[in-house]
Copies of this chain bind each other. A is one copy, B any other.
């Protein structure tokens, strides 16, 4: 047995460094993002591959308290047979188990819990190749992206949440002395969790979006029930398996973390989220269910990340080719199935000034289409960028968008030689006018974007602010060579309540945020009530209770 305190000692250097990084906001990462042999050694990739393959067609090895039968609900967007089954959850049994595990978890204290969390992250990292395959074959992310976004970057986001939670729960001293003249008191402050935490996973980023809530709730003293999307169970099942293993080895009740797998339509998320004992809900997914949770999970603090109208304001540029390359990649990465992929590209009717001369809207549309075709011209490289279409909903929207008259870059199918059954499509770009707001104020999650003509950049900025205030956004981008326009764009982004990227023409993309530096989501617009990871994200998960006595 390795106690929580011992695990804290083991990982203390990493945790201290992580806490420092959350305050500095410069570049820092604890988990190397390159899956190359030079970093992970010769054996890591084949071992991970074998580990993943051995899971296929089998019941997944996981104890779940009170499980009733099993479910098998996943299908790979790459067309391979998965056939993995999981214990089917009984929601009330999970809640009872979580409650029973709470006192011991509270007693472990903030540093002990952070030690356990760091050990869990370390073991997840040791299985990162296996995890990457699991992410690839549930989400449709291409392997390298699954390794990064679903593996190492998710671990960074998890560690960031651990660090923020550890800092917040140790900000007040656990023991203090109060002396006022002759009066002297000894005081104790104890962190107690809010109650049972529920993490509702999504189908596109089960780990990247799931880890922050999981680890923030854990370190602040709460047990957590992990409810994966039926389409992406495996990455979170591996996570829960490791959590329970580490908890048990540390002498703690493993029911601090459990898995709530279900059949599609069982409604377990809604049942759990509205139970009186569930006091924290983390959700990533559709605006519809997110809004429902915010309105109905009244007994809980609800952290949501939903969807929105990610916007690009095109005014002018000093690097037109860079702009096109960068934007084409942003639209293509994981087939636009990121909550941060740009949807609405606003461009003045008169066109934009560039270092390659003035470009009218028609020319810009053609140039962007050409940049997409160049990026995606080689099917093999294209597949590595696009990944696969995750589900029929995305495919249906893409098909619907393809019937519109203004399509300037149609979506085409790409074949993947490794996975012939994969559904891979290039992005569609369609032209609209500012007046077509009925179309572009709807969210078209997937590889669908609109090039929208406006009266002027000022008009673009107004549409940006108004649509994001009303419908939300997780990202925004402006291209301009004018300091005045950039300043106006910054003010517009503050008014809209969204983070802003400016003039990205190189290797940083608007859809990417870096743990320990970029916040993800703001809380200030309808797309999210959470920001990864700020004080608000962790402060709602615990209470500080004091006792005091004369000395």
Whether the Cβ atoms of B547 and A500 lie closer than 8 Å is: yes
Contacts of A503 in B (CB 8 A): 549-550
B residues near A106, Cβ cutoff 8 Å = 494
Question: Chain B's nearest CB lies how many Å from the CB of A531?
Answer: 7
Q: How far is the CA of A501 from the CA of B188 in the complex (A)?
A: 10
State in angstroms the CA–CA spacing of A499 and B548 once bound together.
8
Write the A360-393 contact mask toward B (1 if CB under 8 angstroms, else 0).
Answer: 0000000000000000000000000000000000
| Cβ contact of A539, chosen from B494, B534, B548, cutoff 8 A | B534
CA distance A507 to B540 in the complex (A): 34
Question: Which residue from B179, B497, B536 sits with its C-beta under 8 Å from A540?
Answer: B536
Nearest to A476 among chain B residues (CB) is B547
Q: Interface digits, A193-235 against B, CB 8 Å rule (1 contact, 0 not)? A: 0100000000000000000000000000000000000000000
Q: Are the C-beta atoms of B545 and A497 separated by less than 8 Å?
A: yes
A107 and B37 CA atoms in complex are apart in Å by: 50
Contacts of A61 in B (CB 8 A): none
A523 at the binding interface (Cβ < 8 Å): yes
Oligomer: number of copies: 2
- Bound complex: CA A501 to CA B189 (Å): 12
In the complex with contacts A540-B536, A543-B522, A543-B524, A494-B25 CB distance below 8 A: no
A507-B183, A514-B178, A535-B535 are contacts. A23–B172 as well, Cβ < 8 Å? yes
Question: Using an 8 Å CB-CB cutoff, how does the interface string of A3-45 with B read, 1 for contact, 0 for none?
Answer: 0000000000000000000011111000000000000000000
Give the interface SS of chain A, mostly helix, strand, loop or mixed: mixed
Contacting pair A534 B544 (CB below 8 A) = yes
Contacting residues, chain B, for A188 (C-beta < 8 A):
490
Contact yes or no, B173 A506, CB < 8 A: no
Contact A26 B177 (CB under 8 A): yes
CA distance A549 to B504 in the complex (A): 7
- The answer to whether B180 and A27 have CB atoms under 8 Å apart is yes
With A26-B176, A494-B106, A535-B539 given, is the CB distance from A518 to B192 under 8 Å? no
- In contact, B536 and A498 (Cβ under 8 angstroms): no
Nearest B residue to A167 by beta-carbon distance?
B171
Is A424 an interface residue when CB atoms closer than 8 A count as contact? no
* Mask of A515-551 contacts with B, CB within 8 angstroms, 1/0: 0011100111000000100111001100111111110
Quote the shortest CB–CB distance from A412 to chain B (angstroms).
31
Quick one: which of B194, B518, B535 contacts A548, CB cutoff 8 A?
A: B518
The residue that A173 contacts in the complex, of B25, B176, B493, with Cβ under 8 A, is B25
Q: A547–B501 contact, CB under 8 A?
A: yes
Q: Which residue of chain B lies nearest to A188 when distances are taken between CB atoms in the complex?
A: B490
CB-nearest residue of chain B relative to A486?
B549
Asked whether any CB of chain B lies closer than 8 Å to the CB of A56, the reply is no
A545 touches B176 (CB 8 A): no
| Contact assessment for B504 and A550 in the assembled complex, using a CB-CB cutoff below 8 Å | yes
Q: How far is the CA of A194 from the CA of B176 in the complex (A)?
A: 33
Contact partner, A547, options B26, B493, B507, B508, Cβ 8 Å: B493
Tell me if A183 and B508 are in contact (CB < 8 A): yes
Interface string of A319-330 (1 = CB under 8 A from B): 000000000000
Q: How many Å lie between the Cα of A295 and that of B298 in the bound state?
A: 8
In the bound complex, CA of A7 to CA of B523 (Å)? 30
Q: How far is the CB of A512 from chain B (nearest CB, A)?
A: 11
| CB-CB under 8 A for A500 and B24, given A494-B192, A507-B183 | no
- Whether A408 sits at the interface, judged by CB under 8 Å, is no
Give the Cβ gap from A485 to chain B, nearest Cβ, in Å: 13
With A and B bound together, what is the CA distance between A472 and B454 in angstroms? 56
In this assembly, does A505 line the interface, its C-beta being within 8 Å of a C-beta of chain B?
Answer: yes
A195 closest partner in B (C-beta): B524
Looking at A498, A504, A524, A548, the one whose CB has the most chain B CB atoms below 10 A away is A548
Contact A548 B500, beta carbon cutoff 8 Å: yes
The answer on a CB contact under 8 Å between A179 and B543 is: no
Q: Report if A287 contacts B (CB, 8 A).
A: no
Contact call B544/A522, Cβ cutoff below 8 A: yes
**Residue numbers in B under 8 Å from A536 (CB-CB):** 539-540
Q: For A176, what are the chain B residues with a Cβ–Cβ distance below 8 Å?
A: 24-26, 517
Given contacts A26-B179, A188-B490, A519-B544, 20 further A-B contacts (CB under 8 A): A23-B171, A24-B173, A25-B173, A168-B535, A182-B507, A187-B518, A192-B524, A494-B545, A497-B543, A499-B545, A500-B545, A501-B547, A502-B550, A505-B550, A519-B546, A523-B543, A524-B545, A534-B544, A539-B539, A540-B540
A-B contact pairs, 7 of them (CB 8 A): A499-B548, A501-B547, A502-B547, A502-B548, A523-B543, A531-B543, A539-B540
- Which 3 A-B pairs have CB atoms at the shortest separation, nearest pair first? A502-B549, A524-B543, A536-B539
